[in-house]
Amino acid sequence: MKKIFVLTGEPSGDKLASTVISKLKIQNPDIEYLSVGGTNIKKLGIKSIFDLKDITYLGFTSVLLNIFKIRNKINIAVHEIIKFNPDILFSVDSPDFTLRVAERVKNINNNIKTVHYVAPQVWIWRKNRVKKIKKFIDHMLLLFNFEKKYFDEENIKNTFVGHPLIEKNENVKTVLNDLISKDKKIISIFPGSRNSETKVLLPILLDFIKLMNKKENFYSFVFHATDENKEFIINQVKKTDVNNVDVVSDETIKSQILSNSIFAVSKSGTVSLQISSANIPSIIIYKLNFINFMIFKSLVNIKFANIINIINDKEIIPELLQNECNADEIYKTVIYFLKKPELIKKQLNDCSKTLEGIKSKTSSSKEAATILSNYLTT
């Protein structure tokens, strides 16, 4: 029986990996799996050798403070992968963890094929990383077509498969009447998948909701949580006096809630593609501590945090970062948009044009699954 080890480093990567593996299980059910994964991978019946939260940290200082824990988990992952002896090591995103593991595995056993999904953003920082990747990654699966040139230049085998978060799921049907009041307009809130970033953004977002409730009383707010941080968010909400907030982690329900929302407030990240794909107007927020922010600023060579803005080299989706990431600014920006439908229309049109330019012609997850399947038969 063929074997695949699925290697992720955070909940968003776990979600992406699960979309591919679920398709691969349909194409080829006779594969044995082992993983470093989260709830989405586990729901597919795949064992994880340790909990994702043990390696999920936000910011440079947090990583440094936990460097020995992370190194230990890298050692454990390498040991378990070599022992499992898979035909393919399928690594997903989180390059500072997954690529370190992949490099060591490849050095020990060159027969294991290494396929990495979600290329490290070399167009943002550490462009010299591409030369190193060539030594231990057999195939790079790209989310964005404009990334190809960076890997083509170094003759690294790569395929543009597109982003699964902008695939439409036409079969999703969920009744929301029991969850959301019909007389309330929904604002979706995405506080992040990492516990560390949720802890930073959640107090700000709850203060924003309190401001909205003081001046507007016809909105319902829904936090799009993960299975890992849902309980934490619920407990923090209970400590407040707000009663028009729901917290959901079920992917099907989240998808339906988003499609029925009038607006979204989201942490910076690829989830913004999912929001744009659902044709929902939004703003982006994010906050690092001062030291992490200064380190980040010294390393990156882009003006924007959001991928839609980066691709267009202009602000299409407003970004409230660092000092601007506060309840007052979020409130002012959301209300400003809600009272100006022409701005919402322009944002949605610009986002739609951008998404058309980065969509793959086929299903991203299905194409990625096919590439993995081909490696098992060659």
Rounded Cα distance between 203 and 199, Å, is 7
302 — phi, psi (to 5°)?
Answer: -125, 160
Least confident of 72-81, 165-174, 329-338, 364-373: 165-174
How does residue 172 score in pLDDT terms, banded at 50, 70 and 90?
A: very low
pLDDT over 90 (residue 221): yes
Cα dist from 264 to 50, 199, 279, whole Å: 33, 19, 10
pLDDT tens track for 260-312:
999 999 998 888 999 999 999 999 999 875 555 554 555 555 678 788 998 89
Find, among 105, 1, 2, 20, the residue nearest to 376 by Cα: 2
Least confident of 152-156, 162-166, 287-291: 287-291
3-state secondary structure 231-253: HHHHHHHHCCCCCCEEEECCHHH
Looking at residue 60, its pLDDT comes to: 44
Domain with CATH 3.40.50.2000 in the chain: 2-162+361-377, 185-358
What ranges in the chain are assigned the alpha helix state H? 11-27, 39-42, 60-65, 67-84, 95-108, 129-133, 148-152, 195-215, 230-238, 251-259, 271-277, 290-299, 307-312, 327-338, 341-358, 364-377
DSSP secondary structure letters along 338-357: HT-HHHHHHHHHHHHHHHHH
Cα dist from 324 to 285, 332, 340, 362, 363, whole Å: 8, 11, 21, 39, 37
Q: Look up the CATH superfamily of 2-162+361-377.
A: Glycogen Phosphorylase B; (3.40.50.2000)
One-letter amino acid for residue 168 of the chain: K
**Comparison of pLDDT for 58 and 26, the residue scoring more:** 26
Q: Tokens standing for 234?
A: 């619920």
How does residue 217 score in pLDDT terms, banded at 50, 70 and 90?
A: confident
Looking at residue 234, its pLDDT comes to: 96
Which residues make Cβ contacts (< 8 Å) with residue 244, sequence separation at least 6?
184, 209, 213, 219, 220, 221
pLDDT tens track for 54-97:
776 544 445 555 667 888 999 999 999 999 999 999 999 988 89
Mean pLDDT to the nearest integer, 105-123: 91
CATH number of the 185-358 domain: 3.40.50.2000
Query: What value does the mean pLDDT of the chain take?
Result: 87
Mean pLDDT to the nearest integer, 152-163: 92
pLDDT tens track for 339-369:
999 999 999 999 999 998 788 777 889 999 9
Find, among 373, 267, 365, 260, the residue nearest to 17 by Cα: 365
Find, among 90, 82, 88, 96, the residue nearest to 41 by Cα: 90
Q: Specify burial of residue 125 (Cβ count, 10 A radius: 0-12, 13-18, 19+).
A: middle
Percent of the chain residues topping a pLDDT of 90: 62
